[in-house]
Structure 1
Amino acid sequence: MTADVAPLALSSVTLTLPSSAGPVNILRGVDLDVAAGERVAIIGPSGSGKSSLISVAAGLERPTSGTVSLFGQDLSKLDEDGRARLRRGRAALVFQSFHLLPNMTAEENVAAPLEIARSPNALPTARDWLAKVGLSSRLTHYPHQLSGGEQQRVALARALAARPALLFADEPTGNLDSRNAGSVVDLMFDLLAECGAALVMVTHDPVLAQRADRIVRMADGKVVQSSAEAAA
């Protein structure tokens, strides 16, 4: 990716899904550009299309129409494996529900994507990143042996260990109490600064949204406001 190519660009993106009552329009002509290193918070009421936007932008869901460009690549020209290869080491995801592999320890969970990407020293790198999130004493613990805050910190270490250029975060503090949420948010922004990664984050938390460079407000599947001033 050259310096002048945005890590993410959506143009006239729609998403229509079938239902028993007929087609449902989830996204309705969304335009969104995210610059290198920019932190964007996506807010709006439930059902406004926020999480669907993340899924389409990350290439997890194909849009019905429009163009999604990730690191300058048109995702419509790639199959599922091609989209996975494009994301590998360059785009990472953190979800509300952690998505840790239950049969792997904390260090194995962090090392797994590094090993898939054939990165050297996957386990030492995993240990380094678990140390960054304050979990050096929990390396060999399994997810069921960790608190919710600890699991989300493992998920954050896993997402950022490859030093991606773009992090997608869908309600990253949604399952955490206020104390753990604040700790995870501070860690996330500190580690993003270290990596220089851009952020596209869905959140219902107005305090968290205010930490972004720009707030994008959605309603009824559309972007109705995009303002840097809103995050000031």
Structure 2
Amino acid sequence: MSNPADPLVLEDVSLTLPSAAGPVEILRGLDVRVAAGERVALVGPSGSGKSSLISVAAGLEQPSSGRVRLFGQDLAQLDEDGRARLRRGRVSLVFQAFHLLPSMTAEENVAAPLEIARTPNAMAAARAWLDRVGLSSRLRHYPHQLSGGEQQRVALARALAPAPQLIFADEPTGNLDAANARRVASMLFDLTAQTGAALVLVTHDEGLAERADRAVRLSDGRVAAAA
């Protein structure tokens, strides 16, 4: 049973998309709930619907049927601007591709969402977060001057700096070597534990999934198992 305080609830959610060969069912009657502060791993083979689930849950894609409630708000009742306002400052996304702005330094990339939200002392907060992810010596480096692991740590600092209540992370270690993947994963779990943010993590790494409070396994667009 869901709690009104749950940041995310999906009820009987389906997603069907058009293709040259006809409609393709991506998600099929999903029921998923994420409690406040809970870390949930989404696992399953490629094509099972994990990334699509995140897109629907974050309000980036509208489901074909069913209901998505983000912080108690039914997303179907909001237009695109309304969904963006609901996410602002409360939801952060981390992707496999780092999505840093190439014309901005690490410090400026982290400060950007804070400045959009008109957070006081945005640059000082950005520096503090880069220090927390071990990059205090790389503040003024541009993305092309950083390694892949460093870029993902900047992306992680940028996601956490606005103090979100919910973080969606889609294969955040997928582009990293083993050592950097372990480091970024540890930071992701440690920092969300410290901040109390809920985490929905898509991963193929079973070891990483085991660090979550609970795993939801998808198969062919359905929940195959949850533990």
Give the TM-score normalised by the residue count of structure 1. Answer: 0.96
Unaligned stretches of 5+ in structure 1? 228-232
User: For residues 105 and 77 of structure 1, what CA distance do their matches in structure 2 show?
Assistant: 38
| 1:224 matched residue in structure 2 | 224
Counterparts in 2 of 1:6-21, with a 5 A limit? 6-21=6-21
Q: What code does the residue aligned with 1:71 have? A: F
Instruction: Give 3-state SS (helix, strand or coil) of 1:59's partner.
Output: coil
In 2, Cα distance between the equivalents of 1:125 and 1:64?
A: 40
Q: What is residue 73 of structure 2 aligned with on the other side?
A: 73
Residues 148-207 of structure 1 show CA distances to partners (whole Å, capped at 9, x for unaligned) of: 000000000000001111110000100000000000011111110111011000000000
Counterpart-to-counterpart distance in 1, 2:79 and 2:149: 35
Contact 2:4 2:72 in 1 (8 A): no
Runs of 4+ in 1 over 4 A off after TM superposition: none
Amino acid of the structure 1 residue aligned with 2:174: G
Partners of 1:4 and 1:66 in 2: how far apart? 18
Tell me the amino acid that sits aligned with residue 79 of structure 2.
D
Alignment partners' CA distance in 2, 1:67 and 1:120 = 36
TM-score (norm 2): 0.98
Alignment partners' CA distance in 2, 1:70 and 1:4: 10
CA distance in 2: counterparts of 1:123 and 1:49, whole angstroms: 37
Separation of aligned partners in 2, 1:187 and 1:201? 13
Q: 1:208 is matched with which residue?
A: 208
Q: Which position in structure 1 is the counterpart of 2:174?
A: 174
Identity in percent? 73
Aligned to 1:230: none
Equivalents in 1 of 2:108, 2:79: separation in Å?
A: 28
**2:161 paired residue number:** 161
Cα distance in 2 for partners of 1:101, 1:78 equals 29
Equivalent residue, structure 2, for 1:132: 132
Q: What is the aligned partner in structure 1 of residue 83 from structure 2? A: 83
Give distance in 2, aligned partners of 1:53 and 1:178.
Answer: 26
Change (3 A) 1:4 1:18: closer
Per the alignment, residue 184 of structure 2 pairs with: 184
**What is the deviation of 1:4?**
4.4
One-letter amino acid of the counterpart of residue 147, structure 2: S
1:49 matched to 2:49: yes
SS class of match (1:9): strand
Q: Distance in 2 between matches of 1:168 and 1:183?
A: 18
The answer on whether the counterparts of 2:6 and 2:36 sit within 8 Å (CA) in structure 1 is: yes
What is the rounded CA distance, in whole Å, between the counterparts of 2:120 and 2:194 in structure 1?
A: 20
Residue in 2 that maps onto 1:60 = 60
Query: Equivalents in 2 of 1:50, 1:209: separation in Å?
Result: 13
Measured in 1, the distance between the counterparts of 2:221 and 2:165 equals: 26
